Amino acid sequence: MADGERGWVRGPTQVLRAFRWSMQGLAACWRHESSFRLEVVLFVVFAPLGLWLGENSVERVLLVSSLLAVLGVEVLNSALEAAVDRFGPERHELVGRAKDMGSAAVFVFMMNVLLVWALVLLPRLWR
């Protein structure tokens, strides 16, 4: 959305509106996307575990932010799918490719979670 005449300056009203729109987006994702709901449940389980297992603030940030990144990419993937589905249910090669790429992005970030958690936590097994 364009900022209009005021440019980058935002007052409390604009910030509140942006926050409300963000919450509407998260609510829509929760309502319509079972993958998002599952990932939120996993975040609720693993984020406290990451905070507990991290030995310092850097490790805690890495463990928790890798989980949070999955949620962000899932929201983007869901937005892409909703926008593409707007044009109808008929199958098209480019629509399929776009959806597959969005799904692949979520997968890459899930692999990032495994990598981060392994690199942070596995060396402790060999101490």
pLDDT at 89: 78
What gap in Å lies between CA 77 and CA 106, rounded to an integer? 7
Q: Per the domain annotation, does 94 fall within a domain?
A: yes
What gap in Å lies between CA 111 and CA 98, rounded to an integer? 20
pLDDT at 1: 54
User: First vs last Cα of the chain: how many Å apart?
Assistant: 52
pLDDT at 4: 58
What gap in Å lies between CA 64 and CA 45, rounded to an integer? 11
State yes or no: is 74 an active-site residue.
yes
Catalytic residue among 5, 33, 59, 74: 74
What gap in Å lies between CA 123 and CA 71, rounded to an integer? 27
Q: Per the domain annotation, does 22 fall within a domain?
A: no
Q: Per the domain annotation, does 24 fall within a domain?
A: no
CATH number at residue 100: 1.10.287.3610
pLDDT at 91: 85
Range of the domain at 92: 34-122
Q: Per the domain annotation, does 43 fall within a domain?
A: yes
Q: Per the domain annotation, does 80 fall within a domain?
A: yes
Beta-carbon-side half-sphere exposure of residue 125 (alpha carbons within 13 Å) = 6
Q: Which residues of the chain have pLDDT under 50?
A: none
Q: Per the domain annotation, does 26 fall within a domain?
A: no
pTM: 0.87
